[in-house]
Structure 1
Amino acid sequence: MSSQRLTASVSNYGGLGSFGAHGLKPEAIRNVIREIKALTTKPFAMNLWVSMEDEGAVASTEEAFHRSLSPLAKHIESVGGATPSYHPYEPIRFEDQVQVLLDEGISVFSFIYGIPSKQILDEFRHQGIVLIGTATTVDEAIALEQAGVDVIAASGFEAGGHRGSFLQPSEDSLTGTMALVPQVVDAVRLPVVAAGGIGDARGIVAAFALGAEGVQMGTAFLACEESGANTLHRKALLSGQARQTALTRGFTGRLARGIKNRLLDELNQNNIEILPYPLQRALVRHLSIPAEKAGRPELLPLWSGQSANLARCTHVRALLDTLVKEISEIGGAVQSWSAHRQLEEAQE
């Protein structure tokens, strides 16, 4: 749900905007970077997935395609979509995506689902590009530190979207942000960014109290008009429909969190066959594109973290202004409480 406008708006304000480019071909990534640079002169991050496909994606058969299409076919027909035909998988190479980032001279490279090779990391370091690796467990954070990244994003299971686990299966790496962040802070000597379930100033202050030196927020920005989320998605985030979220492999083939709706529930049934990533993602798009046009949010993958109901702002500047103001207010309240306690102790 990244957009060039959202990325630039966050960076222009003083944050670090980030664009998720994992599904784009190299030339498309090049165009995105240049478009963002036309909107901001500030640093921004480009995010890629180190692991581009699941085991079995290349060998997946036409028969498997039709078995996975079966539960979606009636919905595709109901929204006026065309029944997709089978096409052999054509992979996008991570190394080719990486080369574009190096060629275009970005400021920050962030990544999930693994650790790039030493050669790739060395090339980014040689250009002075900051490296941010994502960890969903303490062991992953330690592995990232040993690989020589600059910053670790500790991603709790409350986060919306995909679980970027790489040492153990995602289902075995579901540690919450409040538990994960202080353990990662204690285990590594690098700056830690807290991610997952942070939706307002209270979450930011809590993350800093846990030892984080920064926070990563996604769902709160999805509700903003500058994001790449469609109108139905943004409405769901702002209207209370995101009260229940759930994890599923049904939308893309990899474990991810979205708003609990009809499509998610159906694809989570035990008898449903899910294609490997990214084949399932491509298959579901044949439903999501016409479903969006038909105004059917119950048939859309609606990415969302568990803090979605905290979303209130519809513009990036308003959201960031609110966060800055409320953090200051919380800080003032904490100082006042601390001074009051000191006075009480002095009187005892």
Structure 2
Amino acid sequence: MVATVSNLGCLGTLALGNSSPDDIEQLYTATRKLTKKPFAVNLFVSNDIKLPTHEEKSKSVKALQPSYDELGIDPSYLHHKSLTLPIDLNTQIETILRLNVPIVSFTFGIPSTQIISKLKQKGIIIVGTATNQTEAMRVQQKGFDAVILQGIEAGGHRASFLSDGTSGPSTTLLNQQTSESITIPKILTGGIMTGQQIAGHIGQGADACQLGSAYLFTDEAKLDKAYLDTLLAGESQTCLSKGFTGKYARVVSSKFTDAMKNKAVLAFPFQGQLTMDMRTKATAINENDFVPFWAGESASIGQRQSTASLTHKLISDFRTKVPDM
């Protein structure tokens, strides 16, 4: 998917936030063999994350117990389940530097000054992600080359790092709010599904747009059947929930997201480690209420097609609205 998007003149991005250095090298090298065009990688920023206390973990396990019980899983072992810290960003960066990756984007925060300096010395373009004007200003002040502005409509995890992510401006409003304060290139994302929408946002001052949910419907996305069928039905509502991973994310509303409202949840990524067995069992027995179907607010208008077909259509529809580009 990433290679196809780049080969067609856009910029594909490899999602490598949870990847080990070895996996980063393998995935990057495999993608590089498929395209000579530039593509980016995306990494998570996980500053000052500490393992949860025994009390915090116990409260979260208790909150999850009804869901585990419903799936026929004994949740008692969760009290003894070892939680692990996320992969060290510094080790990921060393691999990025060695591979001469041309573009790196970050989400969930801003990496250390040392990391920023190393990437800039190597000539790597660095892109931050923000969900409001204050975060965008922070990204700009830290010397990033561009900023991804994530509206509240976006599917998947909120990129927020100066707030909990439960609120924020729409994609259109965020573009307007940063029209004068942000002078680095602005990449708009959230609820964007068509070339006409891309043209509209660029006409209102964005420099580019980033799409996620639209590509969930492509053959190359290889979604589980239940996930894809749910999206294609076009009847599901989405909500922001941190029940699955510990960080707020836009996901198809379900029994689990309803049950976890206002419940004790461990911070990211530890909540995800606690819910992993639940998600695995639920997927195996098609209990979709306990599986996260990440999706943006506009995902209901997506259509099955190949990555190439979608990308061609986005470009064609965009050029219809903006013929000079």
State the shift of 1:9 in Å: 2.0
CA offset at residue 280 of structure 1? 1.0
- Residue from 302, 305, 312 that aligns with 1:314: 305
**Correspondence for 1:238 among 214, 232, 241:** 232
Q: Which runs of 5+ in 2 are unaligned?
A: none
Structure 2 residue aligned with 1:8, among 3, 20, 38? 3
Deviation at 1:125, TM superposition (A): 1.1
Query: For residues 39 and 159 of structure 2, what CA distance do their matches in structure 1 show?
Result: 20
Q: 1:190 aligns with which of 170, 178, 184?
A: 184
Q: Given the alignment of the two structures, is residue 125 of structure 1 paired with residue 120 of structure 2, yes or no? A: yes
1:178-229 CA-to-partner distances (Å, cap 9, x unmatched) read: 1001222321211101111111122212211220110000000011121153
Amino acid at match of 1:262: K
Structure 1 unaligned blocks of 5 or more: 1-5, 335-348
Quickly say closer, same or farther: Cα 1:57–1:75, change in 2 above 3 A: farther
The match for 1:222 among 216, 225, 231 is 216
Q: CA deviation at 1:273?
A: 2.1
Query: Kindly tell me: are residues 13 and 290 of structure 1, through their superposed partners in 2, closer, same or farther at Cα, counting changes over 3 Å?
Result: farther
Give, in whole Å, the separation in 2 of the partners of 1:60 and 1:277.
Answer: 16
**What is the one-letter code of the residue matched to 1:151?**
A
% identity of equivalent residues: 30
Say whether 1:96 aligns with 2:91.
yes
Distance 2:81 2:212 in 1: 33
Amino acid at match of 1:27: D
Alignment of 1:1-348 (within 5 A): 6-51=1-46, 57-61=51-55, 63-64=58-59, 66-77=61-72, 86-91=80-85, 92-171=87-166, 173-227=167-221, 229-242=223-236, 244-268=237-261, 270=262, 272-331=263-322
Which position in structure 2 is the counterpart of 1:343? none
Question: Secondary structure, in 3 states, of the residue corresponding to 2:179?
Answer: helix
Give the counterpart letter for 2:273 in structure 1.
A
Change (3 A) 1:97 1:75: farther
Normalization by structure 1: what TM-score? 0.85
Which structure has the greater CA radius of gyration?
Answer: 1
Offset of 1:98 from its aligned partner? 1.7
* Structure 1 counterpart of 2:18, one-letter code: G
- 3-state SS, counterpart of residue 71 of structure 2: helix
Deviating runs (4+, > 4 A) in structure 1?
80-85
Residues 262 and 155 of structure 1, relative CA distance in 2, 3 Å threshold: same
Distance 1:138 1:258 in 2: 24
Q: Which amino acid aligns with 2:310?
A: L
Q: Is the partner of 2:198 in helix, strand or coil?
A: helix
Residues 115 and 314 of structure 1: is their aligned pair in 2 closer, same or farther, counting only changes over 3 Å? same
| TM-score with structure 2 setting the length | 0.91
Give 1:120 deviation, angstroms.
0.8
* Cα contact 1:154–1:184 (8 A) shared by 2: no
SS of 1:19's equivalent in the other structure is: strand
- Following the alignment from structure 1 to structure 2, what is the Cα–Cα distance between the partners of residues 261 and 308? 16
1:1-22 CA-to-partner distances (Å, cap 9, x unmatched) read xxxxx22221122211112211
Q: Provide the C-alpha distance between the structure 2 equivalents of 1:52 and 1:280, rounded to a whole number of angstroms.
A: 17
SS in 2 for 1:39: coil
Is contact 2:242–2:265 with CA below 8 Å preserved after alignment? yes
Root-mean-square deviation over aligned CA pairs: 2.4
Which secondary structure does the structure 2 equivalent of 1:77 belong to?
Answer: coil
